[in-house]
Chains A and B, each alone.
Chain A
Amino acid sequence: MRDATPTRIVGTPALRKEGFGKVTGGARYIDDIVLLGMWHGATVRSSIARGAIKDIRFGAGINWDEFVIVTAKDIPGANCIPLIVDNDQPVLADARVNHPEEPVVLLAHPDKARLHEAVEAVEIDYDPLPAVFTIEESERQQTIVWGEDNVIKRFLVEKGDVDSAWQHAAHIVSGEYRTGAQEQLYIENNGVIAEWSDADGLIIRGSMQCPYYVHKALLRVFDLPAEKVRVIQAETGGAFGGKEDYPSLIAAHAGLLALKAGRPVKIIYDREEDLAATTKRHPSRTRYRTAVDKDGHLLAMDIQVDLDGGAYATVSPTVLSRATIHSAGPYLCENIRVRSHAWATNVPPHGAFRGFGSPQTIFGIERHMDQIAKAVGISPEEVRRRNFLAQGNATATGQLIRDPIDLRGMMDRALKVSDYHAKRARFARENATSSAIKHGMGIASFMHGAGFTGSGERYLNSLVGLEADASGHLTVLVSSTEFGQGTNTMLSQVVAEALGLSCEDVSIAQPDTNRVPNSGPTVASRTTMIVGRLVHDAALALAGILREKNLLSEEFSADEFRAACAAYTAQFGALRSEARYQPPKDIFWDDAKYQGDAYPAFAWAVYVAEVAVDTRTYAAEVVNFYTVQEVGRVMNPVLAAGQIEGGVAQGVGYALYEKVVWKDGRMSNNQMTNYIIPTAADVPNIEVYFEEMPCEHGPYGAKGLGELPHDGPAPAILNAIQDAAGISFTSIPLLPEDIFLRMAEAPEPECLEIVGSAKGPQ
């Protein structure tokens, strides 16, 4: 559906569907919901990183009879959260713990105020075991903490012949790049309410992205048939990946307490607990060894990607997959090898966070491209232009780029809107005459694959539904969730556009596994492109049903549609259509070789950062940030720009502010006052420009865009810092303390070691 035809509603700033509740305080988030007779639950967690549990004692001074207490023994089904690797992460630690803050005991009490003291009074004795906390410790494989070799997942991607390429190189440029853990820091902490009844089974309400993930997990944990578990998403106050898998665990906990207490139980994490216990972005180390010719063309890339997965597999295999596939960047290179590993460590499992592995490797490749430019003696802009993928080229996995792409045009536009050349020249002049503040410009160009990787969408096999009532009002039935991105609005626009109605004629059913089919998880920048397309198909199917009964002609007005719905429901009852995912015919993926079409479509972007580095405080600040992206058709310009700006702000935090301080595997700065995210006074001016090149896979030509904006800021900012200060930093978060260590010391040579310069091209 490469569709550039004019639209009435798609492409307009339709009002946020659930916005009224959000600006009036009426929206009901999970902690706003109170059920009759509801108790409150709390979690007793491990205090050590790894060890055997010897004894659990319930200390003096608490009347334990008032509490409901749950341990692993109370689990009716399997003690595991099934996700990608089964029988890995337990619901409650039983014989042993594998990371700090691992749930061990659950408590419930009618008075929330009594819980904290009780949690403190539970004493757990351990026999400590040796633990590993870093990629380096894990890959040494001296202490095995997971499986046989600490490797949660590995990939090997090979294209061409890397080993033969080095001899032809004019330059061989090597570099190592590191990124830290990053907290999603949704402002609404995690929370769930569970109810149990013998008749209906388990009902879960909560803050979550993926109701069917929770559903699947609970079937195992409670050993129940599908119809005895019902999962309902409450209004969700931000997620960013952080509510992809962890809510399954909390739901299991609340469910176990509700089952034992015989009454509803609410578990709401406070900020300290949410920060310390729940998932973060995977820390990474990427190594690039690249061969380039004298003009800066990439001849070979030998790439090593290593992620710290934490104590259990959770989503690490798929995060590693995306990290691997994005590690060669938007560049053409005939010889590529990527070896990647997700390593187990004894820290709380790392999980999904916007970008899902790609911010890590795009940081690596985009920092590295600047080092190549330096080695070759060309500009950062030029090294990218000379290597950009073009239509008809093949990516690292051998995916042929069939859609038109215009990275060079986007580069032109990004440099123009940022006034890049003039500013860079001016800054170079001013910096030389030793002002205390050094300014610089940095570029990152990158892509983000939309939808599940490889065969993922085939496995998901998503289904959506659409209902119409007699008045012609439509309700979209999807498990795709709204948590700020604009899902509700976008889907309403698709339906309204397809059926000639207005957004007010469309509702979105509350995600409730009793009501909505499984349209897949709300992750991977897939909702607009994949689910939006299915909802579009369902809308056309619904019109088709009406036409089949001769109630609707080919062309119809809104009134005619309503009349047809009235006539249909009067005659035939419920009016409902469905659409199921159909794999595109020309998309192939080989999971064994990790070759083929990794994603149905990529979004592309060129970002430019303008920074100021204060040589007295060693603080780097982003002054302006310019974004040019091609995301297919823009469905809603206000929501889309909001996604880009929000992602950039998170990327600024990732680069310059947000540091998880680890102590023996535990986050020690688990307060908002010590984990620093940008305030309104810290974010730069952010400019957003879209190129629109309609894509055949999404509705009205849309692609996914939610994750894209988090991929580019960090390398663009560090490239700009190198431009400003002449120092190549290779690790984020880059705090003033880090800049100080390099800048305050005697002036040093370029950081990125250029390993060798072969004699010349042959």
Chain B
Amino acid sequence: MRSNVSEYEFIAPGSLDAVLALLSAEPGAWTPMAGGTELMVALGAGRLEQRKLVSLWGIGELRGITASADWLTIGAGATYTDIRENAAIAKEFPLLARSASWTGAIANQNRGTLGGNIVNASPAADSPPVLLVYEAEIELVSAQGARRMNYSEFHLGYKRTVLRPQELVMAVHLPRGHRLPVEYLRKVGTRNAMAISKVALAGVGAMQSGKVQTVRIAAASLRETPARLSMTEAVLVGHALTSDRIQAARKALLQEVKPIDDVRSTAKYRAHVAANLLEEFLNQMAASES
């Protein structure tokens, strides 16, 4: 334990309105904390710089998972366990349930939240690639009101997002009724469980008459933010998945990713494995019509 907890203020106003009022009254002064799976690690390591924290844990308005005709809405406070155990997610957005099941282990899944995973903005986070291929929208809220945008616009750069100091992530909305026939998700981590991803790739798509009709691909740990691989997608749409085309897609992927060397892996490995995963996904696509 490398911090002195006596130096940290921590309050739990208990309601969304109270938290938003606090954030608006002193923008930037208070750091929201949900399940603590990120910030408490920083506290233990002596690198939690924020000295005033406000608890989001247990705020019911943030935690629900609800469905309307067009959208499945997941409160930012929903835990990975909530996501894993939700029947609608399992049925309509199974990649999200799977990515939740791969995040940490049970104890982390019981405390870590979808909102926290998004706001923490790690390029290695497990949920964002899935949210990207499902074309999620994100809803941000402050005392002044709410705004909603495509999730793909949320991340600006390494650990930088559009979130303003007085805002919270309220929920993630997933469009219902657009499930594509091929869904792919693979995480390559440091081990089978309790692993941080070295590279992860999510893909959804549909073939029509032997050609790629729709495809969406997103990756973790390949750029400074979780990212859609739009160049790669562009190479594929409208084309038959010949081996030449697959090689072209691999090449496009390698051009648009910018992985790094770090303590967990190497840039070369990440890029190459991502291309392999892409190929595995495309082979599934190709096989989907036969």
- A750 contacts B by Cβ under 8 Å: no
Q: Which of B5, B193, B273 contacts A617 (CB 8 A)?
A: B273
Given contacts A116-B2, A668-B263, contact A679 B193 (CB under 8 A): yes
**A114-B4, A673-B196 known; A740-B191 Cβ under 8 A:** no
Chain B residues lying within 8 Å of A669, measured Cβ to Cβ, are 263
A674 partner residues in chain B, CB cutoff 8 A: 263-264
Determine if A312 is an interface residue (Cβ-Cβ < 8 Å).
no
A661 contacts partner chain B, Cβ-Cβ < 8 Å = yes
| B276/A617 in contact, CB under 8 A | yes
Known: A618-B273, A679-B194. A116 touches B188 (CB 8 A): no
Q: How far is the CB of A111 from chain B (nearest CB, A)?
A: 8
Q: Which residues of B contact A618 (CB under 8 A)?
A: 269, 273
Query: Which one of A116, A678, A740 lies within 8 Å of B273 (CB-CB)?
Result: A740
| Mask: chain A, 736-762; 1 = CB below 8 Å from B; 0 = not | 110010001000000000000000000
Taking CB atoms and an 8 Å cut-off, the chain B residues in 178-235 that contact chain A are 188, 190-196, 198
Q: Are B193 and A744 closer than 8 Å at their CB atoms?
A: no
CB pair B1 A682 closer than 8 Å? no
A673, B264: Cα distance in complex, Å: 10
Query: Which residue of chain A is the closest to B46 with respect to CB atoms?
Result: A116
Chain B window 38-52, contacts with chain A (Cβ cutoff 8 Å), 1 for yes, 0 for no? 000000011000000
A736 neighbours in B (Cβ, 8 Å):
188, 198, 265, 269, 273
Give min CB distance, B169 to chain A, whole Å: 25
> Is B280 part of the binding interface, using a Cβ–Cβ cutoff of 8 Å?
yes
List chain B residues, Cβ under 8 A from A117.
Answer: 4
**For window 249-281 of chain B, which residues contact chain A by CB distance below 8 Å?**
263-266, 268-269, 272-273, 276-277, 279-280
For A740, the closest partner residue in chain B by CB is B269
Contact-size category for A: 20 to 34
Sampled A-B contacts (16; CB under 8 Å): A112-B1, A116-B1, A117-B4, A270-B2, A436-B280, A616-B280, A621-B192, A661-B263, A671-B45, A676-B195, A679-B193, A682-B191, A736-B198, A737-B266, A737-B269, A740-B268
Nearest A residue to B268 by beta-carbon distance?
A740
B6 within 8 A of A: yes
How many residues of chain B are within 8 Å of chain A by beta carbon? 30
Would you call A616 and B2 a contact (CB within 8 A)? Answer: no
Closest 6 CB pairs of A and B: A681-B193, A113-B4, A681-B192, A616-B276, A737-B269, A116-B2
Q: Is B242 on the interface with A (CB-CB < 8 A)? A: no
Report whether B188 and A617 are in contact in the complex, using a CB–CB cutoff of 8 Å.
Answer: yes
Residue of B nearest to A112 (CB): B1
Cβ proximity bits A105-145 to B, threshold 8 Å, 1 near / 0 not:
00000001110110000000000000000000000000000
Contact A113 B6 (CB under 8 A): yes
A657-B191 contact given A617-B276, A737-B265, CB 8 Å threshold: yes
Across the interface, which residues of A come within 8 angstroms of B192, CB to CB? 621, 679, 681-682
- Measured between beta carbons, the chain A residues less than 8 angstroms from B3 are 113, 116
Q: Name which residue of chain B comes closest to A120, CB basis.
A: B46
Q: Does A272 contact B (CB under 8 A)?
A: yes
A76-114 vs B, Cβ < 8 Å mask (1 yes, 0 no): 000000000000000000000000000000000000111
Q: Name the residue on B nearest A737 (C-beta).
A: B269
Q: Are B272 and A676 in contact (CB under 8 A)?
A: no
Residue of A nearest to B193 (CB): A681
A619 at the interface (CB under 8 A from B): yes
Cβ proximity bits A534-578 to B, threshold 8 Å, 1 near / 0 not = 000000000000000000000000000000000000000000000
- Contact residues in B for A619 (Cβ distance below 8 Å): 188
| Distance between Cα atoms of A680 and B264 in the complex (Å) | 20
A113 engages B5 (CB within 8 Å): yes
* Chain A residues numbered 675-690 whose CB sits less than 8 Å from any CB in chain B: 676, 678-682
Q: Contacts of B6 on A, CB cut-off 8 Å?
A: 113
Chain B residue contacts of A617, Cβ below 8 A:
188, 273, 276-277
Per-residue B-contact encoding for A674-718, CB less than 8 Å = 1, 0 else: 101011111000000000000000000000000000000000000
CA distance A679 to B272 in the complex (A): 26
